Chains A and B, each alone.
Chain A
Amino acid sequence: MRGDFFEITHLQAFTGGMPVLFDRCCDMPDLERRIAMLQRSAAPQEAAAVLLAALAHAAPDEETRLIEALLATSQPRAIAHVIGRLHEFNDFVRRVSAVPPKCLDDALTLVRRGGGTRTLLNAASLLRSLAEPSLAHHLAAMLESHREDVPEQAGEALLDMFSGKLAASGRLALSRDGRDALDGAIAASMDRYRIHRRDELLIAAALLSASPGPKLAAILAQPDHPAVLAMRRAARRVNEPLVRRQLIRWIGIDQLRAQALRCLHEVRLPNHRDEMLRDRHLLLSARRRRAMARVEKPASCLPSPAELMSMTPFGQAAVVDLMVALRAPAGAQLRTLRAMRHLPSPFVRMKAAHAASLHVSEEATLYEESAALDNDSAVASVALAGLRLRGREINPGVLARVERHRHRAGARWAAARLASSQASSFFARWLALDERSRLAAAHRVMDRDSAGMTEQLQQRIATGGRMEVIPAISLARRLGLCDVVRRELIARANDEDARVASAVVSALGSLADVEVIRVLTQSLDHANSRVRANAIESLRSQNDSVVEQMKPFVEGRENRARANATLMVLHHERERGIEHLRDMLTDGDPLHRISAVWAARRGRVHEAAWEIDRLAEDDPLPEVRVRAASARRLLATHDMELVTA
């Protein structure tokens, strides 16, 4: 603002309430102020008329500001004028966008009624950038314009509006009002297709036909409608990206299905296939899958190895889905799968391995066997899963290679599979197997070669080192072969290695004869406390002649042996055993109290419940309290079961 000014309030009466701002003594206002004064002194409609008159002869440096003022009036006539000059003032597109939609709608109506070619082109361009569905009917109306280039521009703008509103799911991401507006605009134009014959409208209608509104649905329901016939023809133009991208979707739409199925094989170029398979998730739909069975030339829909290599990994992975959905001939499918075997993307190889598992041929098995040796563990896993599902005998040579492969899970599986074949093979790798796989494999070998298995077990228990003999004894126990290896077990009962001796003593507990009792009784004097404790535990189920021998252990200071001995006494003389247990529960050594809680729990000694309660509440050691509380709960549950019974 230039200069100072002052108000002469008493003159306001002569100016219709407007303050008199400028007098001869001060500078006149600049354009900004003059416009502000106009906006204050006149109604918007009147101000717009004055501004339009001013804009007709305005100096170049005044035009921008005058247009801004025109837009501020929000008068349709003013906005229509601005639209007519948008090609001169590109910066105003955004400002025009900010005008309320209703005013813009009225302005565009004025433009359509009386605008020249340039104005209409400006309007189409504006609508394209706005992408406002409620204004789509203007574009639809412009399709019928006889002015040069206007129908083309309007058609492209209309199509842009649709393709820009398509969400990732391929459906229109619009509000209900927006959807209704588009539906109305497209339906009206489809009805007048014979007049304008714009292909862009057909593609837009085809895009919308995935979820048409009521008006468009009514037109689509007429198979002989000229626009519907033309739309079907347009759906075969696979050279147009918008058509290619929608082909998979259209397979699910009744009106366009036949055309889409007929031209699917015409999409040949790798990048075109990529575009077409962009919506590969749609192939999972059951309706589309059923329709895919009617595709023309299904084998031609699959890419050659060279074409496959030129596709993006996403497209390559989608080819697998396409192949499965197409139900192409098995030979063509396997040819494509073989080509995929050498693709760099592990995801694609994995999908190919999975697809191969759906085939039952020998060639597919060979494919999976080679895929099981893939450097990527995920691919190898999928191939191995496929091989497993086949349930057929796998070539031992392949298994041996998989066993040496760096894929750990696969190697373990192959080792377990090889170990299950025969006893020699089992004992060649049994220590490398985890306990579960080892037991499963041992059971299978027992079914096939029990003699060999028994012989090998006896040999290992008799002569094996500690690393072998302990697992062998454990396996014999699990397989119920202790009786068979009884002689070898007794021979190693006095082994120098305490761990071997304790394993033997534990295993002998399942046998009951004089010699075994003799060996176990001897073990009561073993130097190692663990062996002694195990011997007492093994002797528990034997006759009561050994109870008297428990006295030193019951009164001894080895907690494990004492607990086992107490359990044995409980087993044969319950009253005496309970007394010993109470003594142990009140022992000063926390280890003895913990072992006593274990024994009470194991022997279900409800008579010691009070002592256990005391421990659970008052014991100074938290671990004892926790174990006592746990034992108390178990005994309480047992009580309940007894009552229920």
Chain B
Amino acid sequence: MMEMMAHIFWPSLLAFIGLAAASIAIISLLRSERAMTCRRLEAAFGLSGRERRALARLSRQSGIDRAALLISRGCFDAAMKRLEGQVRNRTGEEALRQRLFNSETAAYS
């Protein structure tokens, strides 16, 4: 039994752990890449800390990519529409939308 454990179980377990660790590393790398892109865009747009938090909240609650919200007005409006009825106070998001797409037509309301 011990011999079987030594020859099969432990190597398999180690391989599994190694694979999982590698996957986690890759995923976190990709995520960090995405997050970096997003941070760069936010900085380039000159967003304040409050606006960044509002954007992150909107992304989290609507499930739409944060960078995509910055790029497309349609995305932003779709995210805002998803929050309708769920979140009462959308002032921060509305202000952000006003600032990001101030001269473009609102479509979510």
Contacts and interface: CB of A to CB of B under 8 A. Distances in A.
Interface of A: 2, 11, 14-16, 18-24, 27-28, 30-31, 34-35, 37-38, 41-43, 46-47, 49-51, 53-60, 62, 66
A58 to B, nearest CB: 4
A54 to B, nearest CB: 4
18 contacts: A11-B43, A15-B40, A20-B46, A24-B48, A28-B102, A28-B103, A38-B37, A41-B44, A43-B33, A46-B33, A49-B65, A50-B71, A53-B67, A53-B68, A54-B75, A59-B74, A62-B73, A62-B74
Contacts of A21: 44-46
Contacts of B75: 53-54, 56-58
Nearest to A60: B74
B89 to A, nearest CB: 22
B61 to A, nearest CB: 14
B83 interface: no
Given A15-B43, A28-B102, A62 B72 contact: yes
Contacts of A43: 33
Q: Which of A18, A38, A57, A60 has the most CB of B within 10 A?
A: A57
Contacts of A27: 102-103
B106 to A, nearest CB: 11
Interface in B47-77: 48, 64-65, 67-68, 70-75, 77
A244 B2 CA distance: 78
Interface string B68-109: 101111110111000000000000000000011111100100
Contact of B67 (A50, A55, A60): A50
B interface, over-half SS: helix
A250 to B, nearest CB: 57
B44 A22 contact: yes
A41 B33 CA distance: 11
Contacts of B44: 15, 18-22, 37, 41
A46 B34 contact: yes
Contacts of A58: 72, 74-75
B77 to A, nearest CB: 7
Given A20-B44, A57-B64, A28 B74 contact: no
Contacts of B102: 27-28
Nearest to A51: B71
Contact of B41 (A19, A24, A41): A41
A28 B37 contact: no
A62 B107 CA distance: 13
A548 to B, nearest CB: 126
Nearest to A37: B44
Chain B, interface residues (CB within 8 Å), range: 20 to 34
Contact of A38 (B41, B78, B79): B41
Given A50-B37, A54-B72, A56-B68, 7 more contacts: A21-B45, A27-B102, A31-B73, A34-B71, A43-B33, A50-B67, A59-B107
A23 B48 CA distance: 10
Interface in B25-44: 33-34, 36-37, 39-41, 43-44
Interface of B: 33-34, 36-37, 39-41, 43-46, 48, 64-65, 67-68, 70-75, 77-79, 99-104, 107
A59 B77 contact: yes
Contacts of A23: 46
B45 A28 contact: yes
A75 to B, nearest CB: 14
Contacts of A15: 39-40, 43-44
B28 to A, nearest CB: 15
A41 B72 contact: no
Contact of A31 (B67, B72, B77): B72
Contacts of B37: 38, 41-42, 46-47, 50
A20 B45 CA distance: 7
B64 A22 contact: no
A57 B40 contact: no
B71 A38 contact: yes
A49 B65 CA distance: 9
B71 A28 contact: no
A589 B1 CA distance: 141
B41 A53 contact: no
Given A22-B46, A28-B101, A54-B75, A34 B40 contact: no
Nearest to B76: A57
Contacts of A20: 43-44, 46
Ranked nearest first, the 4 interchain pairs of A and B with the lowest CB-CB distance are A59-B74, A15-B43, A57-B78, A53-B65
Nearest to A47: B37
A11 B70 CA distance: 20
A2 B72 contact: no
Nearest to B107: A59
B99 A16 contact: no
A2 B65 contact: no
Contact of A57 (B43, B70, B72): B72
Contacts of B64: 53, 56-57
A24 B107 CA distance: 23
A16 B74 contact: no
A47 B36 CA distance: 12
A552 B78 CA distance: 129
B43 A34 contact: no
A2 B43 contact: no
Nearest to B99: A28
A641 to B, nearest CB: 100
Nearest to B41: A41
Contacts of A66: 71-72
A30 B70 CA distance: 11
A16 B77 contact: no
A436 to B, nearest CB: 93
